């Protein structure tokens, strides 16, 4: 397994200029209350390059004539390990995680400072600002502490994300396989919820059923808090209360994705609580599904990222006009963006170790990025008509409909990884009513 991380580190080092040093700050353990700790999850950039999943760790990569990888971790502690689990320790950091040298994390600063001599660029990956108050002092240490008549070294500080995050956008075979496992687990979870949905059940029961189901497929956690939103709750994009009883005649929006071995899935489905679409619910649903399918059909290497969003907006704007929910010509609607009243968010994002995965959407010249084989992302158009939209016919009010699929760019086009989750009106009704 270390070969994966060793290869990633080697590729990164190759990309860095000579005489540069990288500091990777792992996440720290957080306390929920007294001696009860939150479930630990490692910083994704740190994990991507090291595979080391213990709290409080730090890594250093040095690019010189002879490059080096140093790992700082909690030392072995039998008493703590009895209470909170085994630690790799310094020995394990070398033996199992490929470090050239390893140290207890309390020796980090005194080990770092000598390494910074003659370093031109200090790259930092520290998402939570663990070392933000120390960086300037570290970068200036040798200049300030050298005699006045010796050559001075001026170290600049740069974010590692500038170099690393563009690399993370295109997934390799192993990453795609892991994402497939996350999607497969989530597919089972969504199907279980769809079959269990009925009037009178509480949103939290369906949320728990999703969690239970993905656990059977090897997921230790969800990729983000489940959104299980009945009726008007779906008009809150990140509704997480999941505490209301579902009512007959409502639409349910469930946005939920399992995380498998630190890789995310992200799937949304919307359907009637009772399994039967009203004419108005069906009209909005078909419009959103049409926007999604037309955008998916545009996916191929060389397509521009923004073409997917633009397609969704064009289709939904035209449909909302035909339903009488928007007025004016389609040219006026698109120019004024009046459609945004009901389509309130972007329609996709990268998917990987983060559910909203890192990486630029533009190239170095500021143009929209072109799609490449190996990219994985979501497409998720939605239409939201809150119950206080009193100028809209009542039958449309109080519903949010979003449909989201996970898409892999292939050499010749695309693969819809989440296509097995029922998504047509006929497939949804067949699963819910049979």
CA trace torsion 409, 410, 413, 417 (10° rounding): -60
Mean pLDDT over all residues of the chain? 97
* Average pLDDT of the residues in 191-210: 98
Q: What is the pLDDT of residue 148?
A: 78
Which pLDDT belongs to residue 149? 75
Q: What is the rounded CA–CA span in Å between residue 87 and residue 18?
A: 34
Which pLDDT score is estimated for 99? 97
On the question of pLDDT at 2 being above 80, the answer is no
d(CA 132, CA 122): 13
- The band of 434, judged by pLDDT with boundaries at 50, 70 and 90, is confident
pLDDT tens-place string over residues 370-425: 999 999 999 999 999 999 999 999 999 999 999 999 999 999 999 999 999 999 99
Which residue is it, tokens 């945004």? 340
Distance CA 425, CA 106 (A): 59
- CB of 224 closer than 8 Å to CB of 186: no
Segment 263-309, tens digit of pLDDT: 999 999 999 999 999 999 999 999 999 999 999 999 999 999 999 99
pLDDT in tens, 69-99: 999 999 999 999 999 999 999 999 999 999 9
Mean pLDDT, to the nearest integer, of 198-227?
98
User: pLDDT value at position 5?
Assistant: 96
Q: Which whole-number Å values give the CA distances from 419 to 170, 190, 269, 424, in the listed order?
A: 21, 12, 11, 10
* 31-54: pLDDT as tens digits: 999 989 999 999 999 999 999 999
pLDDT 10s digits, 322-357: 999 999 999 999 999 999 999 999 999 999 999 999
Please report how many Cα atoms fall inside a 13 Å half-sphere around the Cα of residue 71, on the Cβ side: 28
pLDDT at 427 over 80: yes
**pLDDT of the residue at 52:** 98
Q: What is the pTM of this model?
A: 0.95
* pLDDT for 59: 98
| Domains located in the chain, CATH noted | 2-167 (3.40.350.10), 170-433 (3.90.230.10)
Give the model confidence (pLDDT) of 105-156 as tens digits: 999 999 999 999 999 999 999 999 999 999 999 999 888 888 777 777 889 9
Per-residue pLDDT, 338: 98
CB proximity list for 114: less than 8 A, separation 6 or greater? none
């Amino acid at each position: 397994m270390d070969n994966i991380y060793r290869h990633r580190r080697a590729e990164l080092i190759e990309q860095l200029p000579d005489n540069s040093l990288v500091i990777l700050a792992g996440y720290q353990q957080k306390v929920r209350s007294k001696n009860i700790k939150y479930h630990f999850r490692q910083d994704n950039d740190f994990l991507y390059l090291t595979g080391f999943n213990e709290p409080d760790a730090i890594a250093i990569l040095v690019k010189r004539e002879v490059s080096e990888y140093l790992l700082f971790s909690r030392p072995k502690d039998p008493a703590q390990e009895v209470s909170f689990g085994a630690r790799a320790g310094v020995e394990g950091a070398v033996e199992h995680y490929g470090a050239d040298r390893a140290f207890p994390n309390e020796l980090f600063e005194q080990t770092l400072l000598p390494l910074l001599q003659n370093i031109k660029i200090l790259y930092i990956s520290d998402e939570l600002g663990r070392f933000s108050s120390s960086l300037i002092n570290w970068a200036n240490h040798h200049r300030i502490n050298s005699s006045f008549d010796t050559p001075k070294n001026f170290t600049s500080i740069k974010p590692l994300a500038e170099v690393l995050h563009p690399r993370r956008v295109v997934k390799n075979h192993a990453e795609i396989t892991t994402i497939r496992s996350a999607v497969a687990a989530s597919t089972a979870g969504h199907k279980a919820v769809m079959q269990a949905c009925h009037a009178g059940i509480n949103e939290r029961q369906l949320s728990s059923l999703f969690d239970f189901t993905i656990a059977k497929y090897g997921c230790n956690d969800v990729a983000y808090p489940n959104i299980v939103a009945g009726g008007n709750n779906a008009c809150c994009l990140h509704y997480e209360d999941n505490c209301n009883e579902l009512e007959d005649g409502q639409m349910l929006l469930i946005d939920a994705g399992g995380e498998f071995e630190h890789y995310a899935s992200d799937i949304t489905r919307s359907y009637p609580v009772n399994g039967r679409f009203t004419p108005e619910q069906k009209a909005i649903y078909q419009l959103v599904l049409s926007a999604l399918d037309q955008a998916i059909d545009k996916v191929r290497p060389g397509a521009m990222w923004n073409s997917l969003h633009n397609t969704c907006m064009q289709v939904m704007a035209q449909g909302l006009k035909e339903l009488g929910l928007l007025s004016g010509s389609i040219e006026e609607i698109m120019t004024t963006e009046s459609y945004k009243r009901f389509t309130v968010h972007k329609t996709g994002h990268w998917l990987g170790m983060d559910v909203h995965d890192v990486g630029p959407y533009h190239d170095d010249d500021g143009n929209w990025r072109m799609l490449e084989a190996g990219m994985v992302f979501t497409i998720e158009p939605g239409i939201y008509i809150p119950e206080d939209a009193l100028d809209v016919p009542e039958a449309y009010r109080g519903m949010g409909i979003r449909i989201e699929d996970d898409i892999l760019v292939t050499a010749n086009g695309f693969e819809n990884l989440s296509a097995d989750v029922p998504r047509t009106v006929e497939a949804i009704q067949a699963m819910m009513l049979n």
